[in-house]
Amino acid sequence: MNRPSPGRDAPLAAWFASRGWKPAPFQRETWRRYLAGESGLLHTPTGSGKTLAAFGGPMLEALAESGQAGWVADAGPRVLWVTPLRALAADTVRALDQAAQGLELAWTVALRTGDASARDRRLARQGKADVLVITPESLALLLSYADTAPRFRTLRCIVVDEWHELLGNKRGVLLQLGLARLRSLAPQVRIWGLSATLGNLEQAREVLLPHAPQGALVAGARPRRMTLSTLMPEGKGAALPWAGHLGLSQLARVFKRLFEVRASLLFTNTRAQAELWHRALASIWPEDPATLALHHGSLDPALRTAAEQGLRAGTIRCVVATSSLDLGVDFPEVDQVLQVGSPKGVARLLQRAGRARHRPGESGHVTCVPTHALELIEYAAARQAIAYGRIESRPAPRDCADVLAQHAVTLALGGGFEADALYREVLGTHAYAGLDPASWRAVLDFIAQGGQALSNYPEFRRVERDADGWYRVHDRRIALRHRLSIGTIAADGAVSVKYLRGGGLGSVEESFLARLRPGDRFQFAGRTLQLARLENMTAYVRRAKGGDGPVATWQGGRMALSTQLAREVESLCADPGDHPEMRMAEPLLRIQRRASALPGPGRLVAERIATRRGMHLFVYPFAGRAVHEGLAATMALRWGRRQANTFSYAVNDYGLMLTLAEPAPLDAALLRELLGVRNLAEDLREGVNLGELARRQFREIARVAGLLTPSLPGRAARAMRQVQASSGLLYDVLRRYDPDHLLLAQAEREALAFQLEAPRLAAALRDCEGRELALREPAALTPLSFPLWSESLRGQLSTETWQARIQRAAAQLEKRYARIV
């Protein structure tokens, strides 16, 4: 390899010195490898300087070339910086612009995201930005313009920030296709990925750099020291509830902790929980209300930006946030991070802990706030996993026909493509390396006429093959609709929330607002609002002076426990170690051990318990909520074949509960049969309504692929129920008249893989087969079974609240087990 001379990084090293910094070895290595023409993946902890590591090489290259004959400035973008979040994009623009000015590079740094100004959008379209910070969706949008795509021929470097956030989803697949197109436009471009928390680094490199699978893999600074503490109940006899997920019983302790430091981030796992915690804190907040803020993905961008700027300026004491602030937005003024409830994953907790004291040399810390007793074990498990460096892997999706169809239409719109050339280009990506010619022809047929069943409908003929053999889009209406549909982010049926006198607050789901009438109050965006009217998918509201009302809720907000964290929980149940959380959880574990059995590596615990509601079977594979849902349906089907019965079930991350209307015999041999992996695929298809799951999955696939027409600007938005009806009709038509349609096969495949997690289910059953089976018959509900039993009560009608019923039942159990404790 032709290594550059050691002095080539002198200008950058001098700028570092002027700021009191010293280049880290991994930064210098990244600069050397970039200047030597290499692509690669940089893996380094949050806050260690990876932005300057990636940006330093292009700046040094520009300084060296600026004095050479023939060097041309402003010929097009030199650096494309891809980021997954708009909030992260704005922060990155500031950092890159500051570095370029520090080295006296006359570079224009522009932002091209949904939040970009008219100036930045114009610079991006005209190719007058030297550095363009962009999201995957905005990159695809630029590639759809025939006069814009060729400007990328000037690219020298592409940086993909927070690559781990894109690797495991369709946004990453869309980006893979975009990178393949950019490589064809600028063959000499170097691509660098940046990642902070990832378990499968080598695969991540292969997915990002399929053209250079042996590209550089640079390890950054030593992992930033992360510490974890838990905010536990104080006082004699203090204890946490056996079930629950809000944690508001901890409000007083959290409030006290917030006022021990200057600025805090309080993370929750769902938007509804964030709204509730913000509301609870606001009710007792002693300072100016403006010092307490809320931040989640459904809020208006202006509200999110105000919260971020307040943190940077030091005018906000606390922001209650969700994953919208997980990633590497730099907040040096944040003194502490609190996590309400289980983080559900090691990587997520590391990301959130990294937001505190985001300053060189500072260690990260997170204070965990348990909402119920079992979460104590999850916190100890997370600490153990961090200590041993066990972080979740993120597998990359393959063969997403909907994303490929969208990309093909984008290129047909952006000047056109020749089928064989694009096929070769697509084969160069990780996601479509195995795409066979027949499947490629099916994609071309789909974008040209919608497939066999839809060929007679003009609206599905989006792309035409011209006389020269190239595929192009000629219809302006199709062009407009496609550009409005670009992207793969799943969107709920969102209703905009606006004040009657102007000003937006964000959006909530249509299903939530459908339960309200004009005049009703509800909680959203940290405010009590009164619904005035609902029209054209917009809820017009006024600020309510007082009163109460339901908090806005969103479907699908629950996070699943990762396999890595679940395994750590199991191991701690068997060997608690010296964690303070395990010492506090010891009475609970003692009850579980005495009344039934404790789970652990190599042991599968099952419990048969009778209550007034019937016979219940509890099984604890620790495989995650989605896996347990598929397993419960499969077990019910298999058991029902042996003896007719009526089954209902409940699931959580630890296990499942089957409830039988009529008691039935059960022994270890039968349970082994119910948990067998043999004939799983057939039983899963029969045991769950796979057709309905595929129909639901098809709606999102159809949207990505362009089958569902978006609402046009200036026209009334279509309600979610209209979208559902349209997708359902298309699904039925294709099932009847074109059953081999490529999108139908994808819908069923994704329903199995994503909704039921069939591969993980099969792995879980194989794991169960190799374990010792501990089948017990406790006299009452146990600490492990109680949360499942309480979950099953949610759908029942009662004049009591769910929380009241659970508290009463828990009190009875605690009284029963008092002598064991």
pLDDT at 797: 41
pLDDT at 798: 43
Q: Is 160 exposed, middle or buried (0-12, 13-18, 19+ CB in 10 A)?
A: buried
User: CA–CA separation, 107 vs 59, rounded Å?
Assistant: 10
User: CA–CA separation, 636 vs 622, rounded Å?
Assistant: 19
Closest CA to 136 of 389, 325, 339, 407: 407
* Phi, psi dihedrals of residue 292, rounded to the nearest 5°: -115, 125
Q: Is 111 exposed, middle or buried (0-12, 13-18, 19+ CB in 10 A)?
A: buried
Which carries the bigger pLDDT value, residue 604 or residue 727? 604
pLDDT at 87: 65
Q: What is the DSSP letter of 689?
A: T
**Side-chain half-sphere exposure of 586, counting CA atoms within 13 A:** 9
User: CA–CA separation, 745 vs 401, rounded Å?
Assistant: 10
**Side-chain half-sphere exposure of 813, counting CA atoms within 13 A:** 26
pLDDT at 435: 96
* Phi, psi dihedrals of residue 232, rounded to the nearest 5°: -100, 150
Q: Which of 19-23, 60-64, 257-261, 686-690 has the lowest mean pLDDT?
A: 686-690
- The CATH class, in words, for 6-219 is alpha beta
pLDDT at 279: 92
pLDDT at 455: 84
- The percentage of the chain sitting over the pLDDT mark of 90, rounded to a whole number, equals 53
CB 544 within 8 A of CB 530: yes
Average pLDDT of the residues in 397-404? 95
User: CA–CA separation, 143 vs 99, rounded Å?
Assistant: 28
User: CA–CA separation, 719 vs 704, rounded Å?
Assistant: 18
Closest CA to 551 of 161, 282, 202: 282
Average pLDDT of the residues in 220-235? 78
pLDDT higher than 50, residue 69: no
User: CA–CA separation, 36 vs 205, rounded Å?
Assistant: 18
Closest CA to 756 of 678, 704, 702, 693: 693
Which neighbouring-strand residues pair with 614?
611
pLDDT higher than 70, residue 359: no
Token pair belonging to 121: 């959008």
Mean pLDDT of the chain: 86
Which neighbouring-strand residues pair with 219?
43
Helix (H) or strand (E) holding 534: strand 527-535
pLDDT at 722: 53
pLDDT higher than 50, residue 464: yes
pLDDT at 820: 58
pLDDT at 766: 95
What digits encode the pLDDT tens for the residues 633-673? Answer: 899 999 999 988 989 999 999 999 999 988 999 999 999 99
CB 371 within 8 A of CB 246: yes
pLDDT at 70: 39
CB 120 within 8 A of CB 110: yes
Complete edge-to-edge strand list for the sheet that includes strand 504-509: 504-509, 494-499, 538-543, 527-535, 521-524
**222-252 residues labelled b (16+ CB within 10 A) or e (exposed):** ebbebebebbbeeeeeeebbbbbbbbbebbe
pLDDT at 302: 87
pLDDT at 214: 83
At residue 88 the predicted structure's pLDDT band, cuts being 50, 70 and 90, is: confident
**436-464 residues labelled b (16+ CB within 10 A) or e (exposed):** eeebbebbbebbbbbbbbbeeeeebbbbb
- The percentage of the chain sitting over the pLDDT mark of 70, rounded to a whole number, equals 88
pLDDT higher than 70, residue 490: no
pLDDT at 297: 84
pLDDT at 556: 57
User: CA–CA separation, 396 vs 245, rounded Å?
Assistant: 31
What digits encode the pLDDT tens for the residues 781-796? Answer: 999 999 998 887 754 4
pLDDT at 816: 65
**Side-chain half-sphere exposure of 714, counting CA atoms within 13 A:** 1
**Side-chain half-sphere exposure of 444, counting CA atoms within 13 A:** 20
User: CA–CA separation, 349 vs 378, rounded Å?
Assistant: 11
- Residues 6 or more apart whose CB falls under 8 angstroms from that of 332 comprise 357, 358, 359
Amino acid at 694: A
State the pTM of this model. 0.84
User: CA–CA separation, 587 vs 238, rounded Å?
Assistant: 12
Which carries the bigger pLDDT value, residue 608 or residue 328? 608
pLDDT at 536: 75
Which neighbouring-strand residues pair with 540?
498, 533
Which carries the bigger pLDDT value, residue 305 or residue 266? 266
226-387 under CATH 3.40.50.1820, yes or no: no
Ramachandran bin of 379, using left for φ above 0, alpha for ψ from -120 to 50, beta for the remaining angles: alpha
Q: Checking DSSP bridges between strand 538-543 and strand 527-535, what pairing results, if any? A: antiparallel
pLDDT higher than 70, residue 682: yes
**308-324 residues labelled b (16+ CB within 10 A) or e (exposed):** bebbbeeebbbbbbbbb
Closest CA to 276 of 341, 324, 229: 341
Which residue is it, tokens 């609190």? 338
Q: Which of 359-368, 430-439, 466-475, 700-709 has the lowest mean pLDDT?
A: 359-368
Which residues of the chain are in CATH 3.40.50.300 domains? Answer: 6-219, 226-387
Closest CA to 306 of 290, 322, 317, 320: 290
DSSP 370-381: -SSTTHHHHHHH
Q: Is 772 exposed, middle or buried (0-12, 13-18, 19+ CB in 10 A)?
A: exposed
- Residues 6 or more apart whose CB falls under 8 angstroms from that of 203 comprise 393, 395, 396
Amino acid at 301: P
CB 423 within 8 A of CB 440: yes
Q: Which of 52-61, 486-495, 545-554, 782-791 has the lowest mean pLDDT?
A: 486-495
pLDDT at 725: 57
User: CA–CA separation, 430 vs 427, rounded Å?
Assistant: 8
Token pair belonging to 451: 């497939």
Amino acid at 405: A
**Side-chain half-sphere exposure of 628, counting CA atoms within 13 A:** 22
Average pLDDT of the residues in 563-582? 91
Measured in residues, the chain has a length of: 821
At residue 119 the predicted structure's pLDDT band, cuts being 50, 70 and 90, is: confident
> In a 3-state reduction of DSSP, which class is residue 260?
coil
* Phi, psi dihedrals of residue 382, rounded to the nearest 5°: -65, -40
pLDDT higher than 80, residue 225: no
